[in-house]
Amino acid sequence: MNFKILAFLLLFSFIAASHEISIEDKNVEEIVKQRMSNMSKIKAYSTKMYPLTMSGEFEEIKKLNDKLLHAAQEFKLLFTEGTQGGKASSLIWEDREKFDLFNDNFIISIENIGKSINNEDSVSLVENFNIMASNCGTCHKKFRN
Ligand code: HEC
């Protein structure tokens, strides 16, 4: 009888432990999925924005730019310890300072687009859009596999 109880307890703790592991795995998987989805959104918003930059449709551009900013700010937070995976280079976890700097430069470049929108200045808007877009390749070259 005691042995049966012991066996049951062992089995139960095994199930509990493996359940915990699968939850942990799922969390990492979900985080990787979310940052990929943020990047897909970043691509979609910037692609939509590009033909509008010279249109003078500042309200429309602002809507897209606000979404772009939000997706970029959130993206930076999706690289917590132990979430290596996807196409993210392991360098992100080895040179966090530089990765943070690249993210901050990207975010600042989007904020600068926002300033051009507020000033309704199409010339600086085009310039700032190009600076924002140059961040994609700079970061991918170093931090995306
Ligand atoms: C600060 C770094 C950084 C910047 C800036 C950046 N990216 Fe990325 N991007 C990444 C990383 C890292 C990944 C891989 C994420 C992963 O797989 O976990 C990625 C992945 C992607 C993907 C693939 C998404 C998927 O579903 O697999 C696309 C598309 C993309 N980026 C487009 C862009 C575009 C367009 C820009 C600029 C407007 C940009 N990125 C700016 C770091 C960056």
Q: Using an 8 Å Cβ cutoff, are 91 and 135 in contact?
A: no
- CA-closest candidate to residue 103, choices 132, 63, 80: 132
Angle at 80 between CA 74 and CA 86, to 5 degrees: 80
- Read off the tokens for 27: 């969390």
Q: What is the pTM of this model?
A: 0.86
pLDDT of 15 over the 90 cut? no
Q: Per-residue pLDDT tens for 60-81? A: 999 999 999 999 999 999 999 9
Q: Using an 8 Å Cβ cutoff, are 62 and 115 in contact?
A: no
Mean pLDDT (the chain) is 90
Q: What is the mean pLDDT of residues 10-23?
A: 51
**What are the chain's domains?**
21-143 (1.20.120.10)
Q: Which residues line the pocket of ligand 1, CB cutoff 6 A?
A: 32, 35-36, 39-40, 42-43, 46, 86-88, 102-103, 106, 133, 135-136, 139-140, 143-144
Q: What is the pLDDT of residue 4?
A: 75
Q: What is the mean pLDDT of residues 25-50?
A: 94
**Closest ligand 1 atom, residue 79 Cα:** 18
